[in-house]
Structure 1
Amino acid sequence: MEKWTELRTAYHVAKLGTVSAAARALGAHRATVNRHIDALEEELGAKIFIRNPKGYTLTELGEDLLKAAQKTDELLEDLVDRARGRDGRVEGEIKITSLLPIASVLMEPIAAFRLANPNCQVTLMSTENLQRLEYGEAHIALRAGAKPEHPDYVVQSFGRVGLNLYAHTSYLSRKGKPSDLADLAFHEFVMPAANESRLAIWSWIFDEIADLKVAVAANDPLVVREAVLAGLGLGVLSAFDAEGRDSLRAIFPDNEDWAVPLWLVTHVDLHRTEKVQEMLAHIKALQRDANAITGCGTTLIG
């Protein structure tokens, strides 16, 4: 294919959602954008967009095209950064995704990265949804749980985060602290969404206690944390949730079997780009700084 200009135009339409927005971004006329899309679809012999009143939606072919265009755009941007960045700084945007409860661990690395690269915007997406790195939805993902198995992903261990059953001091003052496992049957619980209830610590509790008394059920981990902080019941929280909150008390001793693995994930095509490598270097520095994790019950290992 020789229609690189048309491909770039289609990429901007897909990314921004409308011809008008793409035209503004490219400094082109709407008619030029439409002509580029028509020429590209004629070259491919198939539609890449479905036109509708709200904008342009990608077809399946368009999704594949966007995947290729995203990688090309990122690699060209990195090449420009390397050509211009004789002072070692990068520009543009770097997108990071993580689960909300563990996003706080990224703040220190992001601050260090921004100090070194003030012209590079960091977009942090804290979501339960898995961003598709192969479509450029994120450059770096911090994921928890089973090791990602995508063949095009570069996956690196980022240690493990501890989990425990916690209660607020206000709850313990009313109900008392469980003295043993059997005592849990007399306590009230804040229950999480179904996916979190499959964690090893919840499996252990369910195996031991047949009928838990549920005070609050929530589908958002932040709501679970806030309910526990409000003294509504016992709840499973991460070490990140408990860090710096002296009013929270762990019910059981730390158990490595309850810890959840963390993974730094990048796409193989963008893994070696300058901005991704520099951000990874700042994040990995956290692993080497034992003082950054002392007291939070988290082990970050290389």
Structure 2
Amino acid sequence: MTNISWDDYKIAYQVAIDGSLSQAGKSLNINHTTVLRRINQLETALEIKLFFRHQRGYKVTDAGKILLAELPELIARFSKLEYQLQNVESNISGELRISTISSYSSQLAPALKAFRDIYPAIRIKVLSTDDIVSLESGAAHVSLRAGPKPNGADLIVKELTRFKTHYYASKEYVKEFGKPSTNSSFNEHYWVLPTAEKYRIPFVRHVVDNIDQNRIVFQSNHFPDVNQAVIEGMGIGPMGEHQAKLYPSLVKIPLNSPKSEEAMWFVYHKDAKHSARVKCFYEFLHARLKRLQNNN
């Protein structure tokens, strides 16, 4: 058997999925004549037919069915190998993929700008989502997660900082409506809160249990929306202390609600433990957050 290009296998796999040379060419962004040449080349090298040719396209033979069944796992293993090799590096360059909770992604921008000022060869991609992104797949190099400490046998987890959440209102709101002095006075005010699936959070539950539902004038399942409604003066609502400090127009509202403090975790897969990008990003972010806390 002559040497076979790995790309020939991938091209054959795409033909098996798409069922035609032209569609596979579009999927791979190559000319369909190139697809045909590579398929013929692979079949000649293997000395076996992978496809039946007919007017409606290409249909896999029994050998083609084996290719279709086995190749996805091989592709995944090669992708993991590439990911591991790319993360054993000495220079700080290339793409750094970061997944983070949606309520924090916009606040991350100043830190990312400062990081790139130090390492201008870095290209950053942020995946903003409240879902957990698989780190083993390589979809992200780093995940910034809030809440309980993440667990996983193949994960390396480091605590970055802790965030406190309080209730705030705009100065304009306080000027017009004042501040609630007791729980019984909550119904004299307007509230902006997260939607019902967040009611299990103790500091949200405390307010919900003490107000009529018609006093909630704005709700969103997205905390940044709630924060913006507070900033605009729609009512009293929760916001992270670290974010509220960016808006001098906000007034902290003491509610005697349960203490809210959660950790922010820096998470990466053990395969990335030798990644210079990941290591430098952690050291930079940890130092920056510590400096900001010391200045407050």
TM-score exceeds 0.5: yes
Deviation at 1:141, TM superposition (A): 0.8
Q: Secondary structure at the match of 1:70?
A: helix
Instruction: Find the partner of 1:68 among 77, 80, 98.
Output: 77
Partner of 1:93: 95
Q: 1:216 to 1:105 in 2, by over 3 A?
A: closer
Question: Aligned residue pairs: how many?
Answer: 263
Deviation at 1:4, TM superposition (A): 8.6
Q: Map 1:1-302 onto structure 2 (within 5 A).
A: 5-6=6-7, 9=10, 20=26, 22=28, 29-31=34-36, 45=66, 47=68, 62=72, 67-79=76-88, 81-82=89-90, 89-207=91-209, 209=210, 211-212=212-213, 213-252=215-254, 257-289=259-291, 291=292, 294-295=295-296
Q: 1:169 to 1:72 in 2, by over 3 A?
A: same
* 8 Å CA contact 2:87, 2:274 repeated in 1: no
Q: 1:202 to 1:244 in 2, by over 3 A?
A: same
* 8 Å CA contact 1:164, 1:250 repeated in 2: yes
In the aligned structure 2, how far is the partner of 1:4 from the partner of 1:160? 51
Q: Secondary structure at the match of 1:146?
A: coil
Q: 1:219 to 1:255 in 2, by over 3 A?
A: closer
TM-score, normalised with respect to structure 1:
0.72
* 8 Å CA contact 2:169, 2:236 repeated in 1: yes
Deviation sequence 1:211-252 (CA, Å, 0-9, x none): 341111222222212211221111111124312201111111
In the aligned structure 2, how far is the partner of 1:274 from the partner of 1:7? 33
Q: Secondary structure at the match of 1:257?
A: coil
Partner of 1:85: none
Deviation at 1:112, TM superposition (A): 4.0
Q: Give 1 or 2 for the bigger CA radius of gyration.
A: 2
With 139-148 and 188-197 compared, the bigger mean Cα shift is at: 188-197
Q: 1:226 to 1:105 in 2, by over 3 A?
A: closer
Deviation at 1:287, TM superposition (A): 3.8
Q: CA RMSD in A?
A: 3.6
With 190-199 and 140-149 compared, the bigger mean Cα shift is at: 190-199
Deviation sequence 1:80-136 (CA, Å, 0-9, x none): x43xxxxxx333211011123323553454234323432221112222232221211
Deviation sequence 1:53-98 (CA, Å, 0-9, x none): xxxxxxxx83x5555333211222234x43xxxxxx3332110111
Deviation at 1:46, TM superposition (A): 5.8
Q: 1:112 to 1:168 in 2, by over 3 A?
A: closer
Amino acid at match of 1:45: I
With 68-77 and 143-152 compared, the bigger mean Cα shift is at: 68-77
With 209-218 and 107-116 compared, the bigger mean Cα shift is at: 107-116
Partner of 1:58: none
Deviation at 1:186, TM superposition (A): 1.9
In the aligned structure 2, how far is the partner of 1:253 from the partner of 1:3? 70
TM-score, normalised with respect to structure 2:
0.74
In the aligned structure 2, how far is the partner of 1:117 from the partner of 1:29? 40
Q: Secondary structure at the match of 1:148?
A: coil
Structure 1: gaps of 5 or more residues: 50-60, 83-88, 296-302
